[in-house]
Amino acid sequence: MNRKFLYIMLVCLAAIAASCSSKTEKAKTGREALTIALTPTIDCLPFYVAQKTGIDTSFGYALNLQTYSSRSDCDTALIHGMAHAIMTDSIRANDIRNRLVTLASAADTIPLTAADSLQFSYHDNIKIFFFTNSKSRLKRPSQLADKMIAIDRGSVEMLIAQQLLDSLKISDKAFLVQMQNLRTRNEMLSAGSMDAVALTEPQAAVARSQRHNLIYTADAYRGKSLGCLLSASRHAAIRDIYNAAVDSINKHGIHRYDTIIASCMDIPVQCLPLMSKQKLYKLK
């Protein structure tokens, strides 16, 4: 059995399983299951809160949340019909649409989400923090010449990092190293294996708990929002559930949901008071 055939079979089985899960949930409860692919990042918190507090059922749906270690895994879930929607960033969202157009034109046999079915809602709930090791002499962005920075090269992090480096006009270029898993970035930062890493909340709170040096923060790219909800179906319902959960979080304060953050995002609860003060914003 060649590897491509095996991959096609696995994708087909995963897509069938996702479809069956939705139908089973509807048969049991009368509510349609909405599968959302997420990463353990603060922009995804409203979906976790919606599921844990019953906000989703008040809209007549049941959220099926699938947590992945990287946004590229979420991309795959959406592209191959294993999720109704994903939380991603604005650069990845446009890249997914372009990839779907290319894949469809190649007439591949792998099942794909239709590019023209995609709907976008942008948000301001992603903030990117660049840290260096607490024992390092790197205290300022201008010292990044000839250093290694761990980022996701397929994301808005790449553009922000490149924009920062270009603005510094440093003599020796820095090296932007592909590392999608946020937990791994934190581990390599602590081990001194990377000179700098890009993190979002709540992983940034873990870095602060270890007293690593914060050298740069970005919450937009050229004045545009960093975050995006990308849906292949049920976009309005998914957006409304998210926005209702944002209202609840802002009403009660984000730290009321520390236990949800700790359990769903695998973050030590003692680190959470160190999260940057962050109001959550609704999807636009």
- Tell whether the model's pLDDT for residue 232 goes beyond 60: yes
- Tell whether the model's pLDDT for residue 124 goes beyond 80: yes
**What number of other Cβ atoms are within 10 A of residue 54's Cβ?**
10
Distance of CA 261 to the CA centre of its chain: 14
- Gap between the Cα atoms of 134 and 44, Å rounded: 28
Contacts of residue 97, defined as CB under 8 A and 6 or more positions apart, other chains included, come to 115, 118
- Tell whether the model's pLDDT for residue 187 goes beyond 60: yes
State mean pLDDT over 220-228: 94
- Gap between the Cα atoms of 220 and 77, Å rounded: 26
CA-closest candidate to residue 46, choices 238, 272, 276: 238
Query: Which of 8-12, 143-147, 173-177, 229-233 is the least confident region?
Result: 8-12
Q: Which residues pair with 62 in a beta bridge?
A: 33
Q: How confident is the model at residue 31 (pLDDT cuts 50, 70, 90)?
A: confident
Q: How confident is the model at residue 172 (pLDDT cuts 50, 70, 90)?
A: confident
Write the single-letter amino acid at 63: L
Q: How many helices (H) and strands (E) does the chain have?
A: 10, 10
Q: pLDDT tens for residues 93-118?
A: 999 999 888 877 765 555 678 888 89
Q: How confident is the model at residue 282 (pLDDT cuts 50, 70, 90)?
A: very high
89 and 220 Cβ atoms separated by less than 8 Å: no
- Gap between the Cα atoms of 262 and 143, Å rounded: 34
Edge-to-edge, what's the strand order for the sheet holding 85-89?
Answer: 61-67, 32-38, 85-89, 227-231, 119-123
Q: How confident is the model at residue 3 (pLDDT cuts 50, 70, 90)?
A: very low
pLDDT of the residue at 100: 87
- Gap between the Cα atoms of 55 and 33, Å rounded: 13
State mean pLDDT over 249-264: 97
pLDDT of the residue at 75: 94
- Gap between the Cα atoms of 130 and 155, Å rounded: 15
Contacts of residue 140, defined as CB under 8 A and 6 or more positions apart, other chains included, come to 215
State mean pLDDT over 21-34: 65
Q: At what angle do helices 45-53 and 235-252 cross, to 10 degrees?
A: 90
Instruction: Return the higher-pLDDT residue of 56 and 21.
Output: 56
- Gap between the Cα atoms of 106 and 102, Å rounded: 6
- Tell whether the model's pLDDT for residue 48 goes beyond 80: yes
